[in-house]
Amino acid sequence: MAVDTGVEVEKRKKRKPNVFDVARVAGVSQTTVSFVLNGSTTPRISDATTKRVLAAVEQLGYRRNTLARSLAHGKTMTVGMVLSSLDDDFHGVILRTCQERLDEQGYQLLYVQAASGSAREALMVQFLLEHRVDAVICFAHEYSTYIVPEWLSGMRDEGVPGVMIDSTRFASMIDSVGSDDIDGMYKAMKHLYDLGHRRIALVSDNWQPDLVPDRISGYDLAIERLGIDYNVQVGSDRRMNDIEKSAEMARLLDGPEPPTAFVTYNDYTFEYFLMNYAGTRFRVPEDVSLVGYGNLYLSRFAKLTSVGQRPEEIGRVAAECVLARLKNPDRPLRKVEIETELVVRSSTAPPRPVS
């Protein structure tokens, strides 16, 4: 490596200082600088030398170049994460706990954003891979079906570990961590059953036949296990938006044999109902009980009983999976289903006695 002798001065102004410069100023070799900077213990560097190097670093305003560093030793110590939505606390909590765990091992989470299932999502995974992240974490989503397998196999080919969050649909291809949603929905149903409800309707969705399928089959399972003779699902037969679902809920409540409670696969499905029917046409929980899903902000604000998915656990376990596979790429595939917890608030009460 030829150190410019003549142009040196000119270049000095723009070029950022590198290990070599530090070495020269400190009067040591590159290697020594590198060892000091990386706290290498193998060849123990004398305190005096260390001090001189550090001083040179300070003086020059040297900042190490991660690009070169990673290029050289083949590891970036970063984990890429493709984020779809940044709008809710669910994702926020997962991110935080995931990051915390990764931090402990010196890994840094790097996010990029892309709507789930969009072409951009696949692009962003490419991007992360090109940046040689050591692993990729991705949120599964209803729309993912089409696109996921494509980049999933891409990652496999390159030996980059990945974990899928929030769904275990791809658990046969990749480490996955999600919630035990069948049980979660069962808990919701059991809670209402125990309060005395026997006509519990589900606010569902047919947007994707396999959207949050566990939550929906949890409903059927509960019906069966609890020996209930009432199975009404709003929005499972045709595509409906939340406004239409609310109207249908109201229609049901005004009809014969009305449900005394609703469960849903997502807190926000109730949003419109809460905004425009609850408290005016129907009182909650006097006229109808409501159990949401997700324990998201809305359920806290609206004091909704809801099934919590424990995002803090999801994030932590996802990090754990990544770390474990990074350590041992050949470990068997892992599929984790975090147990949910029912958070009881004031949207549930015993049903009104039949009038």
Partner DNA sequence: ATGAAAGCGCTAACAC
Partner DNA sequence: GTGTTAGCGCTTTCAT
Strand partners, 109: 79
Under rule CB under 7 A, residue 55 binds DNA = no
Q: From DNA, a copy of itself, none, which one binds at residue 87 (CB under 5 to 8 Å depending on kind)?
A: a copy of itself
C-alpha 241/C-alpha 82 separation (Å) is: 27
Q: Using the rule CB under 7 A, is 108 a contact of DNA?
A: no
Asked if 343 interacts with a copy of itself (CB under 8 A), we say: no
Structure tokens at 119: 């072409």
Site membership for a copy of itself, residue 132 (CB under 8 A): yes
Residue choice 6, 39, 43, 256 for contact with DNA (CB under 7 A): 43
Nearest to 323 by CA among 103, 83, 93: 103
Does 13 bind DNA (CB under 7 A)? Our answer is: no
Q: Does 19 bind DNA (CB under 7 A)?
A: yes
Q: How far is CA 166 from the centre of its chain?
A: 6
Supply the minimum distance, in Å, between the C-beta of residue 10 and DNA: 12
Among 91, 101, 169, 215, binds a copy of itself (CB under 8 A): 91
Query: Which of the ranges 46-54, 179-187, 254-262, 274-282 carries the binding residues for a copy of itself, by CB under 8 A?
Result: 274-282
C-alpha to C-alpha distance for 242 and 145, rounded to whole angstroms = 23
Q: Which of 55, 68, 333, 344 binds a copy of itself (CB under 8 A)?
A: 68
Select the binding partner of residue 28 from a copy of itself, DNA, none (C-beta < 5 to 8 A, by kind).
DNA
* Count of residues that interact with DNA, criterion CB under 7 A: 36
Return d(Cα 288, Cα 262) in angstroms, integer.
Answer: 8
CA angle, corner 234, sides to 231 and 236, nearest 5? 90
- Between CA 70 and CA 127 the distance in angstroms is 16
Candidates 24, 88, 228, 343: give the one binding a copy of itself (CB under 8 A).
Answer: 88
- Type of residue at 107: Y
- For β-strands 289-294 and 261-264, DSSP reports them as parallel
Examine residue 3 and tell whether it contacts DNA (CB under 7 A): yes
Contact segment (CB under 8 A) with a copy of itself among 194-202, 281-289, 293-301, 306-314 equals 293-301
Confirm if 295 and 308 have CB atoms less than 8 A apart: yes
Look at residue 233 and give its three-state secondary structure. Answer: strand
Interacting stretch for a copy of itself, rule CB under 8 A, among 87-95, 141-149, 179-187, 190-198?
A: 87-95
206-227 as b/e: b if 16+ CB within 10 A:
eeeeebbbbbbebbebbbeebe
Interacting residue ranges for DNA, rule: CB under 7 A: 1-3, 5, 15-16, 18-20, 23, 27-32, 34-35, 37-38, 40, 43-46, 48-49, 62, 64-65, 68-69, 71-74
